[in-house]
Amino acid sequence: MARVFVYGTLKRGQPNNYRMFDLSNGKAELLASARTTQKYPLIIATKYNIPFLLNIPGEGHRVRGEIYKVDDKMLAFLDDFESCPHMYQRNLVKLEVEEWMGKGDEEEKVAAGSITEAFVYSTTTYQPDWPSLHSYESYDSHGDHGLEYEIRESRERRGTEDD
Ligand code: PCA
In the chain, which ranges are E strands?
2-6, 28-40, 42-45, 50-54, 61-70, 89-100, 115-123
Q: Which atom of ligand 1 is nearest to the CA of 120?
A: 9
CATH number for the region 2-157 comes to 3.10.490.10
pLDDT at 159: 57
This model's pTM is above 0.85: yes
pLDDT at 153: 85
Model pLDDT for residues 113-150, shown as the tens digit of each residue: 999 999 999 999 999 999 999 999 999 999 999 999 99
pLDDT of residue 152 exceeding 90, the answer is no
Instruction: State the average pLDDT for the chain.
Output: 95
Model pLDDT for residues 81-105, shown as the tens digit of each residue: 999 999 999 999 999 999 999 998 8
Residue nearest to ligand 1 atom 9, measured at CA: 6
> Can you tell me the distance from the alpha carbon of 133 to that of 118, in angstroms, rounded to the nearest whole number?
26
What radius of gyration do the chain's Cα atoms show? Answer: 15
What percentage of the chain exceeds 90 in pLDDT? 90
- The structural domains of the chain, with segments of one domain joined by +, span 2-157
Which amino acid, one-letter code, is at 153?
Answer: E
**Residue positions annotated with a catalytic role:** 82
- The rounded Å distance from CA 65 to ligand 1 centre is 10
Residue nearest to ligand 1 atom 8, measured at CA: 8
